[in-house]
Homo-oligomer: A and B are copies of this chain.
Amino acid sequence: MQQSGNAYKVRLAFNQLEIPFTLVNVDILRGENRTPDFLRKNPEGRIPLLEMRGRGYLAESNAILCFIAEATALFPDGRWERAEVLRWMFFEQNSHETYLAQPRFWLSIRGGADLRRDHFDDWMERGYAALMSMERHLATAAWFAAGRYTIADIALFAHTHVAGEGGFDLATFPNVLAWLDRVKAQPRHIGIDWVAEPP
Binding site for B on A (CB under 8 A): 43-44, 52, 55, 58-64, 66-67, 70, 79-80, 82-84, 86-87, 89-91, 93-95, 97-98, 118-119, 122, 133, 136-137
Give chain B residues whose Cβ lies under 8 Å from the Cβ of A89. Answer: 63, 90
Neighbour of A62 across the interface among B66, B82, B86, B98, CB < 8 A: B86
Give min CB distance, A94 to chain B, whole Å: 4
Give chain B residues whose Cβ lies under 8 Å from the Cβ of A122. Answer: 119
The distance in angstroms between the C-alpha atoms of A61 and B93, with both chains bound, is 13
With A52-B80, A94-B98 known, 9 other A-B pairs at CB within 8 A are A44-B95, A58-B84, A61-B90, A67-B82, A89-B90, A90-B90, A90-B93, A93-B93, A98-B98
- Tell me whether A66 and B43 are in contact in the complex, defined as CB-CB below 8 angstroms, given that A60-B90, A90-B93 are known contacts: no
Number of copies: 2
- Tell me whether A83 and B67 are in contact in the complex, defined as CB-CB below 8 angstroms, given that A43-B133, A94-B97, A133-B43 are known contacts: yes
Give chain B residues whose Cβ lies under 8 Å from the Cβ of A119. Answer: 122
Neighbour of A83 across the interface among B58, B86, B87, B136, CB < 8 A: B58
B80:A55 contact, CB within 8 angstroms: yes
A83:B63 contact, CB within 8 angstroms: yes
